[in-house]
Chains A and B, each alone.
Chain A
């Protein structure tokens, strides 16, 4: 970039949100096309490919994340209204939900508790710091919810956002294979499990398997966002209390 003209253009672009926003949409567009080209192979998940592409470009051009996020924030912001928007599929599935309210409630409460409890417990057993344990705890909830909870219980919200995305990808990639192994064939159960464990990224995957699995995954994601917000801070207090009891005695 010795040419002064090019340099001016670069100075302009790196100071404006235009580049970050356009890069995000172009990368996602390419990633999505690749995903369709591989006939929706879960390994080619568009979130993974676009994140890898974007990090590659940012590292190569020496652009700091904050400069990129000037533009990326417009996309990130939409997670809020998207969370509110979950009320619509929830409402559309209401008659089915009312029929299944008891199994759904039991599965949700168990699922959310297992998701948070097992990640705190495993991270603790493997020697992770408290900050890491707390950042991992809400990882199965959708990003805006998980970040809010992480902040409340003493994790790092921005690290949680990353862990939430990795969790979603893990769930979306492994989900259908896991359900085959444990012989869960019912799309309702598969959808609920996908939504509880792998939030929106899992839900996007579930919609590709069947509309019913997608609807229930969306439903489980919405309800578990709510359940995580209510249960996880309380669960963390309980676990910390148990640890302090066992170490003091």
Chain B
């Protein structure tokens, strides 16, 4: 029952998110707004109810499974991908590498400068 309550709550937030996005015509996907609203609710309540916690970890622990049907969709786009495979593969590969490297370096540097300086820096070793 607990798990069911959790799932129900997640769906209610998604539904409210979808409806709000359509009513207000904001350019944000419904589930993202639902996530923000749930986050704000948790902040106000000061704790995550066990049911929501359970449902959320169940969904998130199998997150990669949820991408499988979309991935299989590749077969519909074989022609398109074959036609423009050079820009698609190179842009995707290089851009992912660039993003990952740049973000990691920016995060490492800024957290050292901004937080490290203020807090007298935690020991570095790990």
| Residues of chain A whose beta carbon lies under 8 Å from any beta carbon of chain B | 24-25, 27-28, 45-47, 50-51, 54-55, 58-59, 65, 68-69, 72-73, 75-76, 78-92, 94, 99-100, 102-104, 106-107, 110-111, 114-115, 118-119, 122-123, 126-129, 132, 136, 139-140, 143-145, 148-149, 152, 156, 158-159, 161-168, 170-171, 174-175, 178-179, 182, 184-190, 192-194, 196-198, 200-201, 203-204, 218, 222, 225-226, 229-230, 233
| Residues of chain B whose beta carbon lies under 8 Å from any beta carbon of chain A | 7, 10-11, 13-14, 17, 27-32, 34-36, 38-39, 42-43, 48, 52-53, 55-57, 59-60, 63-77, 80-81, 84, 86-88, 90-108, 110-111, 114-115, 126
Task: Select the residue from B35, B72, B75, B84 with max chain A CB neighbours within 10 A.
Answer: B72
Task: Select the residue from B30, B36, B93, B111 with max chain A CB neighbours within 10 A.
Answer: B111
Question: CB-nearest residue of chain B relative to A45?
Answer: B64
Count of inter-chain pairs, beta carbons less than 8 A: 309
Q: Is the CB of A229 within 8 A of B64?
A: no
Q: List 10 A-B pairs, minimum CB-CB distance, nearest first.
A: A128-B87, A72-B69, A193-B104, A85-B56, A111-B103, A83-B31, A103-B110, A126-B87, A87-B38, A122-B91
Q: Is the CB of B111 within 8 A of A148?
A: no
Q: Is the CB of A65 within 8 A of B104?
A: no
- B68: min CB distance to chain A, Å: 5
Q: Is the CB of B110 within 8 A of A107?
A: yes
Q: Is the CB of B77 within 8 A of A106?
A: no
The 8 Å CB contact of A115, one of B55, B76, B95, is B95
On chain A, the residues within 8 Å of B32 by CB distance are 83, 145, 225-226, 229
Question: CB-nearest residue of chain A relative to B34?
Answer: A84
On chain B, the residues within 8 Å of A104 by CB distance are 107
Could you tell me the distance between the alpha carbons of A51 and B10 in the complex, rounded to whole angstroms? 27
Could you tell me the distance between the alpha carbons of A55 and B70 in the complex, rounded to whole angstroms? 11
Could you tell me the distance between the alpha carbons of A162 and B60 in the complex, rounded to whole angstroms? 20
With contacts A86-B35, A111-B106, A123-B87 taken as known, whether A92 is within 8 angstroms of B72 at the C-beta atoms is no
With contacts A58-B72, A85-B60, A122-B87 taken as known, whether A91 is within 8 angstroms of B39 at the C-beta atoms is yes
On chain A, the residues within 8 Å of B104 by CB distance are 178-179, 182, 184, 189-190, 192-193
On chain B, the residues within 8 Å of A159 by CB distance are 77, 80
Q: Is the CB of B14 within 8 A of A165?
A: no
On chain B, the residues within 8 Å of A86 by CB distance are 35, 56, 60
Q: Is the CB of B110 within 8 A of A106?
A: yes
- A59: min CB distance to chain B, Å: 7
On chain A, the residues within 8 Å of B84 by CB distance are 128-129, 132
With contacts A85-B10, A87-B36, A229-B32 taken as known, whether A200 is within 8 angstroms of B96 at the C-beta atoms is no
